[in-house]
Structure 1
Amino acid sequence: MDLASFYIPYHDEDDHFVHPKAGFAGVADGVGGYREYGVDAAAFARTLMTHARAGANPVKRGRITAPVTPYNLLQRAYMKAARARMQGGSTAVIVSLHGKTLRWACIGDSGFAVLRAGKMVHRSKAQQSYFNCPFQLCSFGGDCLADADVGEMSVAEGDVVVLGTDGLFDNVFDVELQRVVEKGKELGLSPQKMADKITAAARKMAGDWRAPSPFSVESARSVQDGRKRHYGGKFDDITVVVGYIVSKES
């Protein structure tokens, strides 16, 4: 998996890692609500991703080298953060490629999509307790890691995997993401240039208060619960990781 990333900070509470040799990538988004309590809202996300990257290498069991799964990697990273009694909370997604199998573990509204020949063949679903309150991992309370979305699928050479925090998926509709990726593939963009383009699309939408966004559409649905409606895009940290599925010879 040929990996690249791009990050535009707003509150600077996202973090991510890429480990091309091990075939792993992940993103995390610190829960901003902790700022109100004087907590560094970025700390938990950064701790998760630091431990995740450090543990991404395959585990040797005798003569057999066993791949680490995204769920196990996230679990180990979470346990280390919890033992350190790290304050705050975070959403997260980790994906891995082993052979032709893409595996994942997602908690909250950090997510990913797999695109093939201009079509989105898989898209993770945001996990929320209610609108704008995603599932989150915390040292104290929070949601259970066992509730994470865990799965796997076969991928093929030419597929594009896009990971992002809600700064991407709250601002870019699936159909727009498909368009950007398809255009980028036609132009022969590298993973880095593709990540740049996708991030730019999210940033442009974030600053548009007139056009509908995924976040504003969901906001309209929540009005009946007494919540204030949001219009246009949503300013937020935007993290995008792009992975091209390539043959070993490429």
Structure 2
Amino acid sequence: MEDPKDIDEKASQPNPQSLNMVAAACYIPKDSIKRSEGEDAHFICQEKQTVGVADGVGSWLAEGIDSGIYARELMANCVTALDNQPKGNIHPKMVLTEAYLNTKAEGSSTACIITLTDRRFLRATHVGDSGFLLFRNNMIVNQSQAQKISFDCPFQLGMKRSPPECAIKTGYFAIPGDILVLGTGGLFDNLYPNQIESILREKNGEILKPEELARTISELAYNASMNIVADSPFARASQEAGKSHKGGKIDDITVVVAHIIESA
């Protein structure tokens, strides 16, 4: 994988044949009957070529606080913050910082935002274990690294939590055909990256439809979350931390799939 620190965005020049990011999302709340909105949130801003996900931290429920409200307000404020930046030159960390400062709800949330610039460059920022995978030719070429304080306790924005300065910034050159998969903890706690890679390889040669791929990945993650004997990433992390969790982790699952294509 490329080291983002070694990538010089300035070396990337505007191309007469620009790129376009086409995205779609699928959301499966863990309790669709009692809490249909769940604690996840996301946005897709086609005009500004920017997408984002947020995962409200469920432990606040013990104090009577619904972090889903915080996550939704944070994502809504991200969309508003995009209005203050020029199309094709969005800075995700600045967007996230402005959104954070304007979010007043109680609770906390992880987050991940990615944009495609006019220079054929992908800028990303994330806090906690919401993150992304970048695929090229159906192979993983880059992925975000989760920020965790301890097992099952990620960095998070919000009440008495991490400030937006802790957000990690990364950047990658984009080429036509690249596929981005953004997700919340419910995705990455239940599926390994190579399982998502396998889905792409199985669909090799098919016309990519982001909405169908997002749904397929979400459903696979949901099935894993309900499997009490699955060798999930969460179960493995639990064992490494000296805990005894087995199987998947029941959680809200948000998946955003973005396909990089040549502009018409």
Relative to the length of structure 2, the TM-score reads 0.86
2:149 to 116, 123, 129: 129
- C-alpha deviation, 1:164, in angstroms: 0.2
Query: Structure 1's 20 and 35: CA in aligned 2 closer, same or farther, altered over 3 A?
Result: same
Does the Cα contact within 8 Å between 2:88 and 2:116 map onto a contact in 1? no
Does the Cα contact within 8 Å between 2:130 and 2:146 map onto a contact in 1? yes
> How many angstroms apart in 2 are the aligned matches of 1:56 and 1:182?
34
- C-alpha deviation, 1:144, in angstroms: 2.4
Partner in structure 2 of residue 170 of structure 1: 189
Q: Mind listing any 5+ residue stretches in structure 1 that lack a counterpart?
A: none
> How many angstroms apart in 1 are the aligned matches of 2:221 and 2:79?
26
> How many angstroms apart in 1 are the aligned matches of 2:29 and 2:62?
19
Partner in structure 2 of residue 72 of structure 1: 94
Letter in 2 for 1:68: I
Render the CA deviation track for 1:172-205: whole Å, top value 9, x for unaligned.
1111011112223432231111111111110111
Partner in structure 2 of residue 211 of structure 1: 230
Does the Cα contact within 8 Å between 1:184 and 1:194 map onto a contact in 2? no
> How many angstroms apart in 2 are the aligned matches of 1:185 and 1:14?
30
How do 1:26-175 and structure 2 match up within 5 A? 26-57=52-83, 59=85, 67-81=89-103, 84=104, 86-99=105-118, 100-138=120-158, 140-175=159-194
Does the Cα contact within 8 Å between 2:238 and 2:245 map onto a contact in 1? yes
> How many angstroms apart in 2 are the aligned matches of 1:58 and 1:68?
9
Render the CA deviation track for 1:67-101: whole Å, top value 9, x for unaligned.
221000000000001xx3x2100000000001310
Identity %: 36
- C-alpha deviation, 1:58, in angstroms: 6.2
How do 1:231-246 and structure 2 match up within 5 A? 231-246=246-261
> How many angstroms apart in 2 are the aligned matches of 1:89 and 1:125?
20
> How many angstroms apart in 1 are the aligned matches of 2:84 and 2:164?
22
- C-alpha deviation, 1:211, in angstroms: 2.1
Does the Cα contact within 8 Å between 1:58 and 1:68 map onto a contact in 2? no
> How many angstroms apart in 2 are the aligned matches of 1:188 and 1:172?
24
Letter in 2 for 1:219: S
Does the Cα contact within 8 Å between 1:27 and 1:94 map onto a contact in 2? yes
- C-alpha deviation, 1:66, in angstroms: 6.9
Does the Cα contact within 8 Å between 1:57 and 1:68 map onto a contact in 2? no
Q: Mind listing any 5+ residue stretches in structure 2 that lack a counterpart?
A: 1-20, 32-37
Partner in structure 1 of residue 203 of structure 2: 184
Letter in 1 for 2:205: E
What do you get for the CA RMSD once the two structures are aligned? Answer: 1.4
- C-alpha deviation, 1:40, in angstroms: 1.5
Query: Structure 1's 95 and 66: CA in aligned 2 closer, same or farther, altered over 3 A?
Result: closer
Partner in structure 2 of residue 198 of structure 1: 217
Query: Structure 1's 116 and 18: CA in aligned 2 closer, same or farther, altered over 3 A?
Result: same
- C-alpha deviation, 1:218, in angstroms: 0.5
